[in-house]
Structure 1
Amino acid sequence: MSGTGSTVSGRWVATCARGLEEILLGELRALDVADAGVDVGGVRFRGDFAAGMRANWRLRSANRVLLELASWPAPDDEALYAGARTLDHPWLTPDRTFAIHATSSRSQVRDTRWVALKVKDGLVDGQRERFGRRASVERDWPDLALRVRLHGDRATLLLDTSGEPLDRRGYRTETTTAPLREQVAAAAILASGWDGRGPVVDPMCGSGTLLAEAAAIALGLPPNRLREVWAFEQLPGFDPAVFARLRAEPIPTPGPDVELWGVDREPSAIAAATRNLEAAGLHGRARLAVGDGFAFAPPPGPGLLAVNPPWGQRLTDTDIAAWRRLGDLLKQRYRGWKAVVLAGGEGLGKHLGLRPARRLPVRSGPLDARILLFDLW
C-alpha cells in the first residue's frame, strides 16, 4: 500500500459469506477494479481509495471492504509479535484508538484471542519506541478497526473501511423469525440471471428482504444508500467531494417499472414487510397481502419468483409436505419464470421435485444453506 487518504492505492479485500465469492467477483469486475481474484470468504482486488469507497457504496453481496496495511512472515507467536512491532504505517499513530479482531487458519497459532493480543502488544511496543507513547484500545468505536488474518505462516493486517457490516442496509426496521441476511438475498437475486424485467413475487415474503433486494437491483439503487456513517470517512485525507462524485455515478437500471408482490400467512410479517419497504422507499411499488402463497394467482409474467421457505435443523413432516407443494406451485403457475429458492442442507431441495439449473452452497450464520436456481420451462 502507498499514499495517504484519497491518494492511497494498494490491496483490498471484500469479504462475503462462504459460497458467495463468485457472485462478489462478478460485482467487482463490473466495477472495473484491477486484479480481482477469489479467496475463501472474499475477493481481493487492487485500487485507489476511491475504488474502496465505491466498493462500499455499490457491492450488494459483500460483508465488509478491508484495506491491507501490512503483511509479514509469522510461523509462531514470537514472529507474529516481532512483525507487528516493526510496523511503521502513517495511520498507526498514538493519536488514533484501535481494536483488533483476529482469524487463524492452517497456522500453529490457533487461538484467535492470542493472535490479537500478540499483534496488539507488538503494535503498542513499537509505538512506545518511536513516539514515547502508545495508542489506546477502544473496543466499541475505535478510530481504526483492525483485522489480523493469520493464514499458514503469514500474517496480514487489514483495516475495516466499512464500519457497520454492509448487510445492515438501514431499511429493515422490523424482522420476523429467522430473517434472511440482506447480502445473501441480494446474491441469490444476482445469481438467478434475472434481467430485471417483469414482476417479482415472494409467496412467503416474511419481512420483505428478497423483495427489497430485487427491487434495488432492478432500479439501480445503491444497496447502502440509507447509510449515514462510514469508517473510511474518519481516515486521513478522506475527500468528501470524491465520495459525492462516486455516489452520483450512474448504476444500470434494468427494470425501472418493476412491481413487487408479497404474500404471507402471518399478519405480523406483512406489517413488518410494509414498514421495511416503506423505509427502503419501495412501498409504492409493492402489493402485499395476508394470505396463502399456494393460493396466490401471480401477475402476468414472466418475472422472478424468490422465496425463502421454512428450513432449519429440524423440519417436520408438515414442512416437507409444504416443500412438495411449493414444487408443484412452481411447475403449475410460474412457467417461463426464473425462480430462486433458499434451502438448507444438501437434500432438502429434492422435495421440490425439480432439478435446479444451479446450486450455490452458502454458509448463512450457523447453518449451511443452498441457493437453488431454476428456469421454469
Structure 2
Amino acid sequence: MTSTATTVITEDRTAQTTDSAASATSAAAGGSSTFSLPLYGSPGPFESYPYSELLPKVFPKTQNIGAPLEDFVHVDPGMRALSHPDPRKFLKNATKLENFCPSIGTEVEGVNLAKLAPEERDELALEVARRKVMVFRGQHDFFEAGGEFWKEFGSYFGRLHVHPTGGHPEDLPEIHMIYRDENTVYYDTENITRGMWHTDMSHERQPPGLTAFFLFAHPESGGDTFFTSGVEALKRLSPGFVEYLKTLRQIQSAVDPIQVTRNGTRTRNIRRPCVTTIHPLVRRHPVTGEESLFLNPEATKGIVGYKKQESDLILDFLYDHIAGGLEGQMRVKWAPKTVVLWDNRVTMHSALFDFAGSPERRHGARITPQAERPIPALDGLQVD
C-alpha cells in the first residue's frame, strides 16, 4: 500500500499530519496506531483516510456459500459474577458513573476495558445485563489495541458471529464494519423516517448477547444511536396481556440478502443460506431472570399459527408500544474513543440517519458474540 500523508482533526481540534497508510495498517493488524483519532470524519479519497484499512473491503463470493451456523453450548460469563462478593468491583475506580435513566443505560469514565482481568469481564457481563446498555468513554487503549484484541475481547462473551452478507477488513471477518458518508447515506423515499428499532441478527438460532460497538469517525452533529429496553416495555403492559404474549411464538428470517433496493436494485453476495427460525415473543434472560419482549421489525415475519391480519394487529401494536415507550429509552451521542456495550437479548436500538448530505463519515465496528437460544418466558413453550 502506498504511504499517504493526511491531515486529520484531533480531539483538541488541532491539525496533525500523519502517515495514514502505515498507521491504518498497524491498527488493522492489531498494533498500536500512531495517529490521533479524528474527532469528526470528513470525506475524501480513501487513500488519505487514516482508517482506510478498516473499511469493509472483503465481501463473500456468492458461488462459495457456506453451511448454516451450527449450534453450540453458551455459558454466559455474567453467571459467574453472581457469586462474586462484589459483582460491581470492576467499577470501583470509575471517575464517572451516571445512569441515563432508571431503567436503561449507564455512562462510565475511568474504567479501562482493555485492561480488565477475567473476573472483571465476568462482572462487566453481569452489569451490562442489568443496565442493558453501558457507554464507556475515553477508551484509548481499546482503540489502539486493534483487530486481534477486539476478537479476543469479544470471544470472551460468546462465539463471534460473522455477518451473513456484510463486508469486513482483510483478515477480520469477525469484526462487522459499518460505513456511511455523503455518497452512501440516503433518505428513504418510501418511508417518513429511516430509523427502525431492531436487535442484531435476531433471526439466528442463537442470536447475539453482549455486543460492542465503537466509531472511528462520526459526524460533528447527528448519527446518534437510540436504545430501548424490552424489559421495561413488557412491564408497561397489563399482566393478563403479558401472560398471553408469553404463549406466542414468532417466525424470524433475515431480510432477503440477495436483492437490496437503494436507488434501484443491486446484488449482494452472501456467505451462508438465509435461515428461518422460531423464537418466543417473550424471552427470559439466563443470568438476571428478567423477562423481555423479543421481536424485530426487520426479521419478524409473523406469529406462528395466526393469519397475516391477526399477526399484523398484534405485532404493529407492539412495535408502536416500543417506539412510544419513552420510559425505557436512551440516546447515545458519540464522542472520540467511546465504546458502547449492550445486551441484544433485552434491548432494541436504532441509528439516526439525520446527517444525509453532510460531508462527514460515520464509520465503526461491531463485535457480535452469539449467546444461547432464546429461553421462553413460559415454561414448556416449544420453539423448535
Give the structure-2-normalised TM-score: 0.22
Structure with greater helix percent:
1
Alignment TM-score, normalising by the size of structure 1: 0.22
**RCO comparison, higher one (Cα < 8 Å, 6+):** 2
